[in-house]
Chain A
Amino acid sequence: DAGITQSPRHKVTETGTPVTLRCHQTENHRYMYWYRQDPGHGLRLIHYSYGVKDTDKGEVSDGYSVSRSKTEDFLLTLESATSSQTSVYFCATGPKNQPQHFGDGTRLSIL
């Protein structure tokens, strides 16, 4: 939707390994977001970006880092994955005060 592609769609990995999730948008939006979705919590904001190289923390940022070297790409990295980071991850983008459009999500399982 709205030209947002997340990769991979599914990933299984082991505790302690690094993981990078990619979000790619074709709409040239300035703002991009990473959320995680867990049962009983809805979606919670991990990190967001308001421009190339401009990022900031959301409410559940511990254990995650992000990078945005191009307008169209926003990367989420788990430096050393833990089982508590097993979740479904959503990328979103959109104009400043308009509804955000979401990618299809990445299901990440950390064993």
Chain B
Amino acid sequence: AQTVTQSQPEMSVQEAETVTLSCTYDTSENNYYLFWYKQPPSRQMILVIRQEAYKQQNATENRFSVNFQKAAKSFSLKISDSQLGDTAMYFCAFMKPLSTSGTYKYIFGTGTRLKVLA
């Protein structure tokens, strides 16, 4: 069974500093996708960044970047120059194809609550 583990339930970081959120996953699949979602207090689920497993290059979106280690099944999120608006719950998610229906299935980690301190 596929699982996604986020081992840090809560983290805090000073404004303008850098923080790394960890995520590990377990799968026997070779073709899959990984995502980080942000959920602020408003409850919206906001896509932060995505990574295709077949790509070796780490994805980057402005202040957000990932360290994707496929062999280690690790997918950490680095937030640089942290801002107060980054305060949120962050979910790591693994997406794989479902064999019969042509659709894809998300498996989410339990989340890391990040607080950015002024």
Interface of A is mostly: strand
Partner of B91, one of A43, A50, A101: A43
- Whether A96 contacts B104 by the Cβ 8 Å rule is yes
In the assembled complex, A102 has its CB within 8 A of some CB on chain B? yes
In-complex Cβ contact of B110 among A41, A90, A102 (8 A): A41
CB–CB B44/A1 < 8 A: yes
> Which chain A residue lies CB-closest to B110?
A42
* Chain A contacts for B97, CB-based, 8 A: 97
Q: Which residue of chain A has the shortest Cβ distance to B9 in the bound complex?
A: A40
**Cross-chain contact of A42 among B33, B42, B46, B91 (Cβ < 8 A):** B91
The residue in chain B whose Cβ has the minimal distance to the Cβ of A32 is B103
CB distance A102 to B45 under 8 Å? yes
Q: How far in angstroms is the closest Cβ of chain B from A102?
A: 4
C-alpha spacing A44/B35, complex, angstroms: 15
Instruction: Give chain A residues whose Cβ lies under 8 Å from the Cβ of B95.
Output: 97
- Report the separation of the CA atoms of residues A32 and B61 in the bound assembly, to the nearest whole angstrom: 26
In contact, A45 and B106 (Cβ under 8 angstroms)? yes
A56 — which chain B residues lie within 8 A by C-beta?
98, 100-101
Instruction: Please give the residue numbers on chain A whose beta carbons come within 8 Å of chain B beta carbons, in ascending order.
Output: 1, 31, 33, 35, 40-45, 48, 50, 54, 56, 58, 88, 90, 92, 96-97, 99-102, 104-105
